């Protein structure tokens, strides 16, 4: 069963690149007492993720901050090395978007947002979604029906709903 509005996020450790290399990030530490946008993509460097989804949050990050959002986080079922490189390549890192890897898809599976698409070589990937999380609880969730589409989960759509 997929997570929905009103649900508390499960405890999860994700990965990011730090000054000394890969480091764990407790999602609870990122969300406790804060208003955070989390968006997830099927894969770094994949077409829709790279050319539409991440850019939509780069464009809207300042407007989200004006609405009280403390941090924008991108999660993908990729390792922290890929997420660092992808954040640099898209400009997400320079825009202040936090790029976190869910390398084993444990968080993605725990919230019921995993899928497989073997013909495209995508196994244990994340569905495309965006959510507003307030103090660890999902207050707004926009999930796409198809992983190749970025409409309801884009930055502009989430911003308009907040």
| Contact yes or no for 74/56 (Cβ under 8 A) | no
Q: Which residues contact 49 (CB under 8 A, 6 or more apart)?
A: 41, 42, 43, 76, 128, 150
The structure tokens listed for 106 are 């444990």
Long-range contacts of 111-117 (CB under 8 A, 24+ apart): 111/2, 111/3, 111/9, 111/10, 112/1, 112/2, 112/3, 113/2, 113/3, 113/40, 113/143, 114/77, 115/42, 115/147, 117/42, 117/147
CA 107 to chain CA mean position, Å: 11
Residue in 126, 137, 144 with CA at minimum distance from that of residue 43: 126
Active site residue 49: yes
Which candidate in 3, 9, 14, 49 is catalytic? 49
- Catalytic sites, residue numbers: 49
């Amino acid at each position: 069963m997929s997570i929905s509005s009103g649900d508390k996020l499960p405890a999860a450790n994700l990965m990011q690149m730090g000054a000394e290399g890969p480091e764990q990030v407790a999602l609870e530490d990122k969300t406790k007492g804060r208003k955070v946008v989390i968006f997830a993509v099927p894969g770094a460097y994949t077409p829709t993720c790279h050319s539409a989804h991440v850019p939509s949050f780069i464009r809207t990050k300042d407007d989200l901050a004006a609405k009280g959002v403390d941090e924008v986080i991108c999660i993908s079922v990729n390792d922290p090395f890929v997420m660092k490189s992808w954040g640099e390549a898209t400009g997400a890192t320079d825009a202040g978007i936090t790029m976190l890897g869910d390398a084993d898809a444990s968080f993605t599976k725990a919230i019921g947002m995993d899928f497989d698409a073997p013909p495209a070589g995508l196994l244990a990937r994340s569905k495309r979604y965006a959510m507003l999380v307030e103090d660890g609880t999902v207050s707004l969730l926009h999930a796409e029906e198809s992983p190749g589409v970025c409409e309801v989960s884009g930055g502009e759509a989430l911003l308009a709903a907040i």
